[in-house]
Amino acid sequence: MNKEVLSLISNRLLIALVTLVIVSFAVFFATTMLPGDTATILLGQAATPEAVEGLRKAMHLDQPAILRFLSWLYGLLSGDLGTSYANDMPISQLIGGRFVNTLKLAGVTALFSVPIALTLGITAAMLRGSVYDRIVTILTIGVISVPEFMVATSAVLIFAVYLRWLPALSLANEVHSLADMLRVYAMPVITLTFVVSAQMIRMTRAAVVETLNTPYVEMALLKGASRTRIVLRHALPNALGPIVNAIALSLSYLLGGVIIVETIFNYPGIAKLMVDAVATRDLPLIQSCAMIFCLGYLILITLADIIAILSNPRLR
């Protein structure tokens, strides 16, 4: 590995670290600007002003925002996520099981969406201009145009209300067998696969088409190489960087789409926990959940950048 590659990777890691600090600043001050007073919401409208003021002091809400931010940031760096205002429990305990459920949902979705998207994207690029390519393009554009909450609502109406094949709610705690797992994850995975795969198909197709138009691919075609060999041996290795970026961007969008999906299907994940925390103005819990999503996004994007650097033959 040469110095230029190491320098580029170091720069990407440094940019990710700086971005994480900036994001933590934005998350903290955005949550503090939520309407309503946290102490009043927790105690109720019947609480006396003295009780509200006492709770505010106990939660350090009377301190300047910058001091609370520095204290919160120090806690994050030391692994202490704080204590939930609404439950009076360590946030790490509240998030633990929910985070595992969200990872399971994201993992199952990626397991289905990535192979489907790569297959459709690569084959559409190989047969560009054909009827198959046009059908795939039209379908992907149509799916991208529909928001995930519409896809989720349509899935509930079709599979739960009319056909009655699947439950409308996905309760991960009720999984005791393979059949239970299929029933619990089917609806959220179908919804997220539709949303994630469409963008991944388009970006994969564009990356492969761009590589197929390069001079070395045209030279291989003139030498009599088959289209399959050209794609597998020449186009795909050089399109690996853009394809990995397409996968990373699509899976990072999964982190945002899962918020809506978990809410609609009442799936007990970290996104549903964050939505419930917003209703109770549980600021430490909201901030911790938001930072987990931001960290996941940055990890995916940074890994994609590093893989793109390592797969670039010019840099090697």
What phi and psi values does residue 83 have, to the nearest 5 degrees?
A: -120, 140
Which DSSP string do the residues of 15-30 spell out, in sequence order?
A: HHHHHHHHHHHHHHHH
35 or 264, which is more confident: 264
Phi first, then psi: give them for residue 279, nearest 5 degrees: -65, -30
SS3 90: strand
Per-residue tokens: 166: 């699947």
Tens digits of per-residue pLDDT, 57-103? 777 777 787 888 888 888 888 878 888 877 778 888 888 878 888 88
Statement: residue 172 has pLDDT above 80: no
What mean pLDDT value characterizes the chain?
Answer: 81
Query: Which residue did the predictor score with more confidence, 179 or 134?
Result: 134
Confidence of residue 178 (pLDDT cuts 50, 70, 90): low
CA 207 to chain CA mean position, Å: 22
At 135, the pLDDT band (50, 70, 90 cuts) reads very high
Give the whole-angstrom CA distance, residue 209 versus residue 213. 6
> pLDDT tens for residues 13-22?
899 899 988 9
The whole-angstrom separation of Cα 125 and Cα 242 is: 14
pLDDT of residue 199: 83
121-134 exposure pattern, b = at least 16 Cβ within 10 A, e = fewer: bbbbbbeeeeeebe
Cα distance between residue 273 and residue 271, in whole Å: 5
Q: What is the pLDDT of residue 175?
A: 62
- Domain spans of the chain? 3-34+81-310
User: Tokens in use for 130?
Assistant: 């054909």
Which architecture characterizes domain 3-34+81-310 according to CATH? Answer: Orthogonal Bundle (1.10)
Question: pLDDT tens digits, residue range 183-230?
Answer: 778 888 888 888 888 888 888 888 888 887 777 777 777 777 777 777
Distance of CA 100 to the CA centre of its chain: 14
- Residue 149 pLDDT level (bands cut at 50, 70, 90): confident
Reply yes or no on whether the pLDDT at 46 is more than 80: no
Q: How confident is the model at residue 134 (pLDDT cuts 50, 70, 90)?
A: very high
Task: Say whether pLDDT at 39 is over 80.
Answer: no
Does residue 25 carry a pLDDT above 80?
Answer: yes
178 vs 209, which has greater pLDDT?
209
Q: Given this model, what pLDDT does residue 63 score?
A: 78
Cα 162 to its chain centre, rounded Å, is 30
Q: What is the structure's pLDDT at 296?
A: 85
